[in-house]
Structure 1
C-alpha cells in the first residue's frame, strides 16, 4: 500500500512540474507577443535606423534586456512582424539607447545584437 501511495504521489508531482514548466517560456509566463506591446514606443525606431529612439522606448528595452532571450523573442514575434518591425534594425535599439550593460554579441535568430 505504501508503494502505491508513493507512486501516486510521484505521478501527481510529475504532472505538477510539467504544468509549471509548460507555462514558462522566454518571457516567463507572458508570451513574446504580449510583451511586444510594451515596446510600442519603439515602433518607429524599429522600422527606421535613422529614427530617434524615445526615452520611453529605451526604458522598456533596458528593462526587457535584462532577459536577452525574452527581448530577442519579442523582436522576432508575430506581433512585431505584423507591426512592421524590421529585426535587423530592432536589434540596434539597445546600442542606440546607449545601454551600457546590453547583451552585446547575443545571437537573436539570424541577427546579432551590436
Structure 2
C-alpha cells in the first residue's frame, strides 16, 4: 500500500512540474500575445488603424520574427480588442511589409 501511495505522489509531482513548464510557453513563445502587442509590435499601431499610413522598419522587422500563429493570437488578444485597432487592416500589415510567409 505504501509503495502505491509513493508512486501516486511521484506521478502527481511529475505531472505538476510538466504543467508548470508547459504553461510558460504558448504560440508566441515565452511572452503572451498581449505582451507581444504592447512591447514587440507597438510600432505597428498606426498602420493597423489606417491603410494610408506606411509601415516602417520598426514595425516590419519585429513582425518578421513573429510566427503566423502568434500574429493571429495577437490580433485575437484582449489587449487588441480594447486598443481600437482594426483587425481587417492589421491583416494587411505582413503583406505591406513584404513578408511572404504570412
Deviations 1:10-56 (A, max 9, x none): 11101111222233322233211111012111111101112100011
Structure 1 position 94, deviation (Å): 0.6
Q: TM-score, normalised by structure 1?
A: 0.76
Q: Which residue, 45, 48, 71 being the options, matches 1:46?
A: 48
- Give structure 1 regions of 4+ aligned residues with deviation exceeding 4 angstroms: none
More helix by percentage: 2
Tell me what 2:97 maps to. 97
Structure 2 partner of 1:24: 25
The two structures, once aligned, show a CA RMSD in angstroms of 1.7
Give the Cα–Cα distance (whole angstroms) in 2 for the partners of residues 83 and 99 of structure 1. 24
Per-residue deviation, 1:76: 2.2
Aligned residues: 100
- Return the TM-score normalized by structure 2: 0.84
Structure 2 runs not aligned, ≥5 long: none
Is the counterpart of residue 12 in structure 1 residue 13 in structure 2? yes
Aligned counterparts of 1:15 and 1:88: Cα–Cα separation in 2: 40
